Structure 1
Amino acid sequence: MIVSLFVLLLLVLIYIYFFPFIPQKKKHYTYALLLGCPSHNDGTMSSSQIKRCNLAIEMYKKNLYDTLIISGSNVKNKYIEAKVMNDYIQNKTMIPTILETNAKNTFENFKFSKEIIQNKDVLILTSQTHAKRACAIAKQFFRDCGCSWYKDLKFKHITREIISRILYIKIEILKKLGRY
Protein backbone atom coordinates (compact mmCIF):
# COMPACT_ATOMS: atom_id res chain seq x y z
CA MET A 1 0.00 0.00 0.00
CA ILE A 2 2.74 2.49 0.96
CA VAL A 3 4.79 1.54 -2.10
CA SER A 4 1.74 2.06 -4.33
CA LEU A 5 1.08 5.48 -2.81
CA PHE A 6 4.74 6.42 -3.24
CA VAL A 7 4.71 5.36 -6.90
CA LEU A 8 1.47 7.28 -7.47
CA LEU A 9 2.89 10.38 -5.79
CA LEU A 10 6.06 10.10 -7.86
CA LEU A 11 4.05 9.85 -11.09
CA VAL A 12 1.97 12.89 -10.12
CA LEU A 13 5.11 14.91 -9.34
CA ILE A 14 6.72 13.91 -12.64
CA TYR A 15 3.55 14.95 -14.48
CA ILE A 16 3.40 18.33 -12.71
CA TYR A 17 7.10 18.91 -13.39
CA PHE A 18 6.75 18.33 -17.13
CA PHE A 19 3.28 19.89 -17.47
CA PRO A 20 3.10 22.95 -15.22
CA PHE A 21 0.02 25.12 -15.07
CA ILE A 22 -1.03 26.87 -18.26
CA PRO A 23 0.06 30.52 -18.10
CA GLN A 24 -2.59 33.13 -17.43
CA LYS A 25 -3.76 34.97 -20.52
CA LYS A 26 -3.02 38.70 -20.58
CA LYS A 27 -4.96 41.39 -22.38
CA HIS A 28 -2.97 41.72 -25.62
CA TYR A 29 -0.17 39.94 -27.52
CA THR A 30 2.01 40.92 -30.46
CA TYR A 31 1.46 37.51 -32.05
CA ALA A 32 -0.92 34.60 -31.83
CA LEU A 33 0.33 31.19 -32.92
CA LEU A 34 -2.35 28.96 -34.40
CA LEU A 35 -1.17 25.36 -34.23
CA GLY A 36 -2.06 23.35 -37.29
CA CYS A 37 -3.78 20.01 -37.61
CA PRO A 38 -4.38 17.89 -40.72
CA SER A 39 -7.12 18.29 -43.29
CA HIS A 40 -9.11 15.32 -44.47
CA ASN A 41 -7.56 13.33 -47.32
CA ASP A 42 -9.92 14.98 -49.82
CA GLY A 43 -8.75 18.45 -48.75
CA THR A 44 -11.81 19.40 -46.74
CA MET A 45 -11.17 20.87 -43.33
CA SER A 46 -11.31 18.69 -40.25
CA SER A 47 -13.57 19.80 -37.42
CA SER A 48 -10.43 20.52 -35.35
CA GLN A 49 -9.10 22.86 -38.05
CA ILE A 50 -12.40 24.72 -38.21
CA LYS A 51 -12.58 25.07 -34.42
CA ARG A 52 -8.99 26.32 -34.21
CA CYS A 53 -9.61 28.84 -36.99
CA ASN A 54 -12.81 30.07 -35.35
CA LEU A 55 -10.87 30.47 -32.10
CA ALA A 56 -8.24 32.58 -33.91
CA ILE A 57 -10.98 34.77 -35.40
CA GLU A 58 -12.72 35.15 -32.04
CA MET A 59 -9.49 36.11 -30.23
CA TYR A 60 -8.63 38.63 -32.97
CA LYS A 61 -12.07 40.23 -32.73
CA LYS A 62 -11.51 40.54 -28.98
CA ASN A 63 -8.28 42.41 -29.81
CA LEU A 64 -6.06 39.86 -28.05
CA TYR A 65 -3.30 39.93 -30.71
CA ASP A 66 -1.97 41.91 -33.68
CA THR A 67 -0.67 39.27 -36.12
CA LEU A 68 -1.58 35.61 -36.53
CA ILE A 69 1.07 33.02 -37.32
CA ILE A 70 -0.41 29.80 -38.67
CA SER A 71 1.96 26.85 -38.38
CA GLY A 72 1.69 23.47 -40.05
CA SER A 73 2.94 21.51 -43.05
CA ASN A 74 1.40 18.67 -45.05
CA VAL A 75 1.79 15.96 -42.43
CA LYS A 76 -0.91 13.42 -43.28
CA ASN A 77 -1.64 14.24 -46.92
CA LYS A 78 -0.77 16.75 -49.65
CA TYR A 79 -2.73 19.63 -48.07
CA ILE A 80 -0.60 22.16 -46.17
CA GLU A 81 -2.34 22.82 -42.86
CA ALA A 82 -1.29 26.48 -42.58
CA LYS A 83 -2.55 27.31 -46.09
CA VAL A 84 -5.88 25.52 -45.68
CA MET A 85 -6.49 27.21 -42.33
CA ASN A 86 -5.43 30.62 -43.66
CA ASP A 87 -7.84 30.34 -46.60
CA TYR A 88 -10.70 29.61 -44.20
CA ILE A 89 -9.82 32.54 -41.93
CA GLN A 90 -9.34 35.03 -44.77
CA ASN A 91 -12.71 34.02 -46.26
CA LYS A 92 -14.34 34.93 -42.92
CA THR A 93 -12.41 38.07 -42.00
CA MET A 94 -9.20 39.90 -42.84
CA ILE A 95 -6.54 39.12 -40.23
CA PRO A 96 -2.83 39.89 -40.74
CA THR A 97 -1.24 36.45 -41.07
CA ILE A 98 2.17 34.88 -41.51
CA LEU A 99 2.31 31.27 -42.67
CA GLU A 100 4.89 28.84 -41.31
CA THR A 101 4.64 25.79 -43.57
CA ASN A 102 7.50 23.53 -42.47
CA ALA A 103 6.39 22.23 -39.07
CA LYS A 104 5.38 18.58 -38.93
CA ASN A 105 4.65 18.39 -35.17
CA THR A 106 4.01 20.57 -32.11
CA PHE A 107 7.69 20.95 -31.24
CA GLU A 108 8.45 22.16 -34.77
CA ASN A 109 5.47 24.56 -34.66
CA PHE A 110 7.34 26.43 -31.93
CA LYS A 111 10.85 25.89 -33.28
CA PHE A 112 10.09 27.34 -36.71
CA SER A 113 7.76 30.06 -35.42
CA LYS A 114 10.44 31.25 -32.99
CA GLU A 115 12.34 32.59 -36.01
CA ILE A 116 9.39 34.89 -36.71
CA ILE A 117 8.31 35.74 -33.15
CA GLN A 118 11.82 36.01 -31.70
CA ASN A 119 11.51 37.60 -28.23
CA LYS A 120 7.99 39.01 -28.60
CA ASP A 121 4.97 37.81 -26.66
CA VAL A 122 2.69 35.15 -28.14
CA LEU A 123 -0.77 33.71 -27.53
CA ILE A 124 -0.96 29.98 -28.29
CA LEU A 125 -4.22 28.87 -29.96
CA THR A 126 -5.14 25.20 -29.87
CA SER A 127 -7.58 22.65 -28.47
CA GLN A 128 -8.27 21.99 -24.79
CA THR A 129 -6.69 18.54 -24.88
CA HIS A 130 -3.56 19.86 -26.60
CA ALA A 131 -3.13 23.07 -24.58
CA LYS A 132 -1.14 21.72 -21.61
CA ARG A 133 1.51 19.96 -23.72
CA ALA A 134 1.63 22.84 -26.20
CA CYS A 135 2.29 25.31 -23.36
CA ALA A 136 4.96 23.05 -21.87
CA ILE A 137 6.77 23.04 -25.22
CA ALA A 138 6.16 26.76 -25.79
CA LYS A 139 7.98 27.58 -22.55
CA GLN A 140 11.14 26.13 -24.09
CA PHE A 141 11.00 28.83 -26.78
CA PHE A 142 9.12 31.83 -25.38
CA ARG A 143 9.40 33.75 -22.13
CA ASP A 144 6.06 35.53 -22.50
CA CYS A 145 3.24 33.33 -23.70
CA GLY A 146 -0.37 32.64 -22.90
CA CYS A 147 -2.88 30.17 -24.22
CA SER A 148 -6.44 30.12 -25.42
CA TRP A 149 -8.30 26.99 -26.45
CA TYR A 150 -11.64 25.61 -27.49
CA LYS A 151 -13.29 22.72 -25.67
CA ASP A 152 -12.34 19.35 -27.08
CA LEU A 153 -13.23 16.20 -25.23
CA LYS A 154 -13.37 13.66 -28.06
CA PHE A 155 -12.21 10.26 -26.87
CA LYS A 156 -9.80 9.77 -29.81
CA HIS A 157 -8.20 13.18 -29.17
CA ILE A 158 -7.80 12.48 -25.46
CA THR A 159 -6.29 9.06 -26.18
CA ARG A 160 -3.86 10.49 -28.74
CA GLU A 161 -2.87 13.26 -26.34
CA ILE A 162 -2.18 10.82 -23.49
CA ILE A 163 0.20 8.91 -25.76
CA SER A 164 1.80 12.17 -26.94
CA ARG A 165 2.33 13.34 -23.35
CA ILE A 166 4.02 10.06 -22.42
CA LEU A 167 6.31 10.37 -25.46
CA TYR A 168 7.00 14.00 -24.57
CA ILE A 169 8.05 13.06 -21.02
CA LYS A 170 10.28 10.29 -22.38
CA ILE A 171 11.99 12.67 -24.82
CA GLU A 172 12.47 15.35 -22.16
CA ILE A 173 14.01 12.82 -19.75
CA LEU A 174 16.33 11.59 -22.51
CA LYS A 175 17.32 15.21 -23.24
CA LYS A 176 18.17 15.79 -19.59
CA LEU A 177 20.31 12.64 -19.62
CA GLY A 178 22.05 13.79 -22.81
CA ARG A 179 20.74 10.88 -24.85
CA TYR A 180 18.49 12.72 -27.27
Structure 2
Amino acid sequence: MTIRFRALSGALFAVSTLVLIPAAMAAQGHTPGDAVGQTAKATQATRTVEVEMGDIFYEPASIQVKPGETVRFVVKNTGELLHEFNIGTAAMHAAHQKEMAMMAEHGMLTPTGMNHDMKNMDHSNMPGMDHGAMGDMKHDDPNSVLVEPGKSAELTWTFPETTTLEFACNVPGHYEAGMVGKIDFSR
Protein backbone atom coordinates (compact mmCIF):
# COMPACT_ATOMS: atom_id res chain seq x y z
CA MET A 1 0.00 0.00 0.00
CA THR A 2 1.40 3.38 -1.00
CA ILE A 3 0.56 6.41 1.13
CA ARG A 4 0.80 9.79 -0.50
CA PHE A 5 1.86 12.65 1.74
CA ARG A 6 -0.27 15.17 -0.15
CA ALA A 7 -3.32 13.62 1.53
CA LEU A 8 -1.56 13.49 4.87
CA SER A 9 -0.28 17.06 5.10
CA GLY A 10 -2.72 17.98 7.88
CA ALA A 11 -1.93 14.80 9.79
CA LEU A 12 1.78 15.31 9.45
CA PHE A 13 1.50 18.92 10.56
CA ALA A 14 -0.22 17.70 13.74
CA VAL A 15 2.39 14.99 14.25
CA SER A 16 5.27 17.37 13.60
CA THR A 17 3.65 19.72 16.10
CA LEU A 18 3.51 16.82 18.59
CA VAL A 19 7.23 16.22 18.07
CA LEU A 20 8.74 19.62 17.32
CA ILE A 21 6.80 22.05 19.53
CA PRO A 22 7.66 20.33 22.84
CA ALA A 23 11.34 20.34 21.87
CA ALA A 24 11.25 24.01 20.90
CA MET A 25 9.40 24.92 24.07
CA ALA A 26 11.86 22.96 26.19
CA ALA A 27 14.74 24.80 24.53
CA GLN A 28 13.12 28.05 25.65
CA GLY A 29 12.60 26.75 29.19
CA HIS A 30 8.86 26.13 28.68
CA THR A 31 7.78 22.52 28.57
CA PRO A 32 4.20 21.36 28.13
CA GLY A 33 4.41 20.08 31.68
CA ASP A 34 5.20 23.41 33.39
CA ALA A 35 1.63 23.73 34.71
CA VAL A 36 1.57 20.08 35.77
CA GLY A 37 5.19 19.65 36.80
CA GLN A 38 8.43 19.07 34.97
CA THR A 39 10.81 16.38 33.92
CA ALA A 40 13.70 15.60 36.25
CA LYS A 41 16.78 13.40 36.47
CA ALA A 42 16.36 9.99 38.09
CA THR A 43 19.00 10.95 40.66
CA GLN A 44 16.69 13.74 41.91
CA ALA A 45 13.86 11.33 42.76
CA THR A 46 12.95 10.83 46.40
CA ARG A 47 11.32 7.49 45.59
CA THR A 48 10.52 5.05 42.80
CA VAL A 49 7.02 3.91 41.88
CA GLU A 50 6.63 0.80 39.74
CA VAL A 51 3.64 0.91 37.40
CA GLU A 52 2.30 -2.09 35.48
CA MET A 53 0.37 -1.42 32.28
CA GLY A 54 -1.81 -4.24 31.02
CA ASP A 55 -4.67 -4.57 28.57
CA ILE A 56 -6.49 -2.19 29.67
CA PHE A 57 -5.43 -1.24 33.21
CA TYR A 58 -2.78 0.33 35.41
CA GLU A 59 -1.54 -1.15 38.64
CA PRO A 60 -1.63 0.81 40.88
CA ALA A 61 -4.81 2.55 39.75
CA SER A 62 -3.94 5.70 41.71
CA ILE A 63 -0.68 7.22 42.89
CA GLN A 64 -0.22 9.50 45.87
CA VAL A 65 2.43 12.25 45.63
CA LYS A 66 3.49 15.16 47.79
CA PRO A 67 3.43 18.68 46.36
CA GLY A 68 6.83 19.42 44.81
CA GLU A 69 7.93 15.76 45.06
CA THR A 70 10.15 14.19 42.41
CA VAL A 71 9.17 10.60 41.58
CA ARG A 72 10.91 8.10 39.34
CA PHE A 73 8.34 5.92 37.55
CA VAL A 74 9.40 2.52 36.22
CA VAL A 75 6.66 1.55 33.79
CA LYS A 76 6.34 -2.00 32.48
CA ASN A 77 3.94 -3.06 29.74
CA THR A 78 2.75 -6.59 30.57
CA GLY A 79 -0.03 -6.46 27.98
CA GLU A 80 -0.11 -7.45 24.33
CA LEU A 81 -0.79 -3.92 23.04
CA LEU A 82 1.15 -0.66 22.85
CA HIS A 83 0.44 1.52 25.92
CA GLU A 84 1.34 4.97 27.17
CA PHE A 85 2.00 6.43 30.61
CA ASN A 86 1.23 10.13 30.29
CA ILE A 87 0.94 12.60 33.19
CA GLY A 88 -1.42 15.51 32.61
CA THR A 89 -4.81 17.08 33.07
CA ALA A 90 -7.96 15.69 31.48
CA ALA A 91 -7.81 18.51 28.90
CA MET A 92 -4.19 17.69 28.03
CA HIS A 93 -5.14 14.04 27.55
CA ALA A 94 -8.08 14.98 25.29
CA ALA A 95 -5.77 17.03 23.05
CA HIS A 96 -3.11 14.32 23.00
CA GLN A 97 -5.69 11.66 22.12
CA LYS A 98 -6.47 13.52 18.89
CA GLU A 99 -2.78 13.57 17.95
CA MET A 100 -2.38 9.89 18.79
CA ALA A 101 -5.49 9.01 16.76
CA MET A 102 -4.05 10.81 13.75
CA MET A 103 -0.75 8.98 14.16
CA ALA A 104 -2.56 5.63 14.31
CA GLU A 105 -4.82 6.48 11.38
CA HIS A 106 -1.83 7.11 9.16
CA GLY A 107 0.20 4.09 10.24
CA MET A 108 2.71 5.84 12.49
CA LEU A 109 1.39 3.85 15.44
CA THR A 110 0.41 0.20 15.23
CA PRO A 111 -1.50 -1.76 17.87
CA THR A 112 1.84 -3.02 19.23
CA GLY A 113 4.38 -0.28 18.49
CA MET A 114 5.71 2.70 16.55
CA ASN A 115 6.27 2.47 12.79
CA HIS A 116 9.98 3.32 12.63
CA ASP A 117 10.07 2.84 8.84
CA MET A 118 8.56 6.27 8.01
CA LYS A 119 11.69 7.33 6.10
CA ASN A 120 10.69 5.08 3.17
CA MET A 121 7.51 7.08 2.54
CA ASP A 122 7.33 9.61 -0.31
CA HIS A 123 7.31 13.00 1.41
CA SER A 124 8.54 15.06 -1.53
CA ASN A 125 5.23 16.94 -1.76
CA MET A 126 5.67 18.61 1.65
CA PRO A 127 7.42 21.96 1.16
CA GLY A 128 8.98 23.45 4.25
CA MET A 129 9.24 20.18 6.17
CA ASP A 130 12.57 18.84 7.42
CA HIS A 131 12.43 15.68 5.33
CA GLY A 132 15.46 14.12 7.01
CA ALA A 133 13.78 14.35 10.40
CA MET A 134 10.63 12.62 9.15
CA GLY A 135 12.32 9.22 9.40
CA ASP A 136 13.32 9.94 13.00
CA MET A 137 9.83 10.91 14.18
CA LYS A 138 9.41 10.10 17.86
CA HIS A 139 6.77 10.23 20.52
CA ASP A 140 8.84 12.34 22.90
CA ASP A 141 6.58 14.42 25.10
CA PRO A 142 8.49 15.07 28.34
CA ASN A 143 5.51 13.96 30.47
CA SER A 144 5.00 10.68 28.64
CA VAL A 145 6.48 7.30 27.74
CA LEU A 146 5.13 5.00 25.06
CA VAL A 147 5.91 1.36 25.85
CA GLU A 148 5.67 -1.63 23.54
CA PRO A 149 4.50 -5.04 24.86
CA GLY A 150 7.04 -6.75 27.12
CA LYS A 151 9.16 -3.59 27.43
CA SER A 152 9.81 -1.13 30.23
CA ALA A 153 10.51 2.59 30.32
CA GLU A 154 11.28 5.22 32.94
CA LEU A 155 9.95 8.70 33.53
CA THR A 156 11.09 10.97 36.36
CA TRP A 157 8.73 13.79 37.18
CA THR A 158 8.66 16.69 39.65
CA PHE A 159 5.07 17.46 40.56
CA PRO A 160 3.72 20.99 41.07
CA GLU A 161 2.46 22.26 44.41
CA THR A 162 -1.08 21.14 43.62
CA THR A 163 -3.38 20.64 40.65
CA THR A 164 -5.78 18.02 39.35
CA LEU A 165 -3.73 15.41 37.52
CA GLU A 166 -4.17 11.96 36.14
CA PHE A 167 -2.02 9.44 34.31
CA ALA A 168 -3.46 7.89 31.21
CA CYS A 169 -2.94 5.89 28.05
CA ASN A 170 -3.87 7.99 25.02
CA VAL A 171 -3.47 5.23 22.44
CA PRO A 172 -6.80 5.35 20.52
CA GLY A 173 -9.62 3.82 22.56
CA HIS A 174 -7.58 3.04 25.68
CA TYR A 175 -8.52 6.12 27.74
CA GLU A 176 -12.17 5.64 26.79
CA ALA A 177 -11.95 1.99 27.89
CA GLY A 178 -10.83 3.15 31.35
CA MET A 179 -7.03 3.16 31.13
CA VAL A 180 -6.67 6.22 33.33
CA GLY A 181 -5.55 6.66 36.93
CA LYS A 182 -5.66 9.43 39.48
CA ILE A 183 -2.75 11.30 41.00
CA ASP A 184 -3.61 12.26 44.57
CA PHE A 185 -1.76 15.09 46.28
CA SER A 186 -1.20 14.68 50.00
CA ARG A 187 -0.11 17.44 52.35
Question: Aligning the two structures, in what range does the TM-score lie when normalised by the shorter sequence?
Answer: under 0.3
TM-score, scaled to structure 2: 0.24
Which structure has more strand as a fraction of its residues? Answer: 2
TM-score, scaled to structure 1: 0.25
Which structure has more helix as a fraction of its residues? Answer: 1
Higher RCO (CA-CA < 8 Å; seq separation 6+): 2
